[in-house]
Amino acid sequence: MRVVIASSEAVPFAKTGGLADVAGYLLEGLTRKGIKARLFMPLYKAVRDNFPDLKYTGVEIKVTVGNKMYSSRLFSYNDSAFFTECDVFFERQELYGSSSGDYRDNAERFIFFSKAVLQAVQALNLIPDVMHSNDWQTGLIPLYMRSIYKKHFSKTATLFTIHNLGYQGLFPYSVMPLTGLSNELFKPEGIEFYGSVNFLKAGILSSTAINTVSENYAQEILTSEYGFGLDGVLRKRRDDLFGILNGIDYSQWNPSKDNLIAKNYGTKDFSEGKALCKRHLLKQCGFKVERPLLGMIGRLSAQKGIDIFLSALEEIIFAGTNVVVLGKGDEAFEKAFEGFARKHRKNLLFWRGYDEALAHRVYAGSDVLLMPSRYEPCGLSQMIAMKYGTVPVARKTGGIKDTVEDYNPLKRKGTGFLFSDYTPNALRECLIRALCVYAEPLRWKRLILGGMKKDFSWDSSIQKYIALYESLRRRLKG
């Protein structure tokens, strides 16, 4: 079976979040299972800088966006990942925008990319059995395959994965002519959405099947609370909507082999290992007093529950904790953390930025990982944290609900602490519950061990994707 994964980011090439992990691991995992998988992504500046050995395929395509034509040379890496070049769109510092906002030409950039993928697979003779596109950036791909590129893809099924329904690729009506699609599609049953063009909706409506990245989130998005206005559209497609939990790449995230942390440890010797990693992290943070160390790693966006965390932060520190936050995102949140960090220098450190190596050290050195997400399609951080013996204190939503078991003190069972109400108070109370168990070292150790022993490896997710691809292919033939 031949599969093309179209994604706007993928590890190890370029990453802003979980989408990159999924796309990268999927490529690797499918290939390992004997599937002829290829990845297509834009040739960003970061890819060019970090992978100077990309091979020019010798193929150049011409892609129209509106009435402009762009030339795109196609590059490859190991003949499995392909990159569409277009410097006016992708030779930039960031992938989608800076902290002051999205790039203004994101519609053009991803119309270009969606068309480029479809033309590139033809030009390179790589037309797949299944075209797997991801999130709004590639939402137009299945629609193009049913419209302007129809005759080339009659034997290709499409899977569209929603990694985050909160980002829909909404653009003004003026973008319609740039898409090259019929104006007829600009209606509520089409890709119109409250007066805007919605790229994600295009993917939902026109692909053979849709999936999202945890079973619980696949149910949640059918409700108005989590549906971001698309719950009605999704309910219409509920028979074709699936949930497949993301996995973790344990070759990258494994405390027993991780050479970025101060000391390696496994399930048998985590006490010493974690203690040393914690001391190391405390030193790096400049914290003099040892207290329960709470870590938070992630995009600083409203999705991640930063508002309730900020409201609870001072009381969390006064409860006797040290806090380390690694992240970047909305300017207002960055400033708020900077302000608190100045005020509570002894117990709070804010690292503004994206830093893979530091993330490893925070996962290893923290006692608790905070994840008060408003919503969380899957969430990788809680799974990574558990592997590193770091106990999640998290909101019971999306994939967190599928992966973290709330601690039951009577049965002494569970892998973390969960709260439901989206309030600073609920977060605080949940953390207090965790700190009570932390104060009992034997119980805490058992809790840590339970989390470390959980298996969230990619293997079972990959099997599920393969089964889904097969069923789509059968559907197309039948």
Tell me the closest approach of the beta carbon of residue 252 to ligand ADP, in angstroms: 9
CB of 128 or CB of 247, closer to ligand ADP: 247
Tell me the closest approach of the beta carbon of residue 350 to ligand ADP, in angstroms: 11
Tell me the closest approach of the beta carbon of residue 465 to ligand ADP, in angstroms: 17
CB of 128 or CB of 379, closer to ligand ADP: 379
What CA–CA distance (Å, rounded) separates 357 from 362?
A: 9
Tell me the closest approach of the beta carbon of residue 111 to ligand ADP, in angstroms: 24
Q: Can you give the length of the chain in residues?
A: 478
Tell me the closest approach of the beta carbon of residue 385 to ligand ADP, in angstroms: 9
Tell me the closest approach of the beta carbon of residue 288 to ligand ADP, in angstroms: 25
Look at the alpha carbons of 310, 311, 312, 318 in this order and tell me if their dihedral is positive or negative.
positive
CB of 247 or CB of 379, closer to ligand ADP: 379
Contact 284, 361 (CB under 8 A): yes
| Rg of the chain in Å (alpha carbons) | 23
Tell me the closest approach of the beta carbon of residue 435 to ligand ADP, in angstroms: 24
CB of 210 or CB of 362, closer to ligand ADP: 362
Report residue 433 CA to chain centroid gap.
29
Alpha-helical runs (H) found in 167-250: 176-179, 199-206, 215-220, 231-236
Describe the strand order of the beta sheet including 36-42 as a list of residue ranges. 55-65, 68-77, 81-84, 36-42, 2-6, 130-134, 157-162, 209-212, 241-243
What CA–CA distance (Å, rounded) separates 62 from 66?
A: 13
C-alpha angle 411-373-286 in degrees, rounded to nearest 5: 90
Tell me the closest approach of the beta carbon of residue 326 to ligand ADP, in angstroms: 5
Residue of minimal Cβ distance to ligand ADP:
18
> What is the binding site for ligand ADP (CB under 6 A)?
17-18, 21, 297-299, 326-328, 354-356, 359, 378-381
Contact 428, 316 (CB under 8 A): yes
Tell me the closest approach of the beta carbon of residue 17 to ligand ADP, in angstroms: 3
At 386, list the tokens.
Answer: 């558990």
User: What residues does 71 pair with on adjacent strands?
Assistant: 62
What CA–CA distance (Å, rounded) separates 347 from 127?
A: 55
Query: What are the angstrom distances between the C-alpha of 212 and each of 27, 68, 158, 271, 320?
Result: 17, 34, 14, 36, 39
Amino acid letter, residue 457: S
Tell me the closest approach of the beta carbon of residue 176 to ligand ADP, in angstroms: 29
Report residue 95 CA to chain centroid gap.
14
What CA–CA distance (Å, rounded) separates 132 from 121?
A: 13
Contact 38, 80 (CB under 8 A): yes
Q: Which helix (H) or strand (E) holds 144?
A: helix 140-146
Biggest CA pair distance of the chain: 68
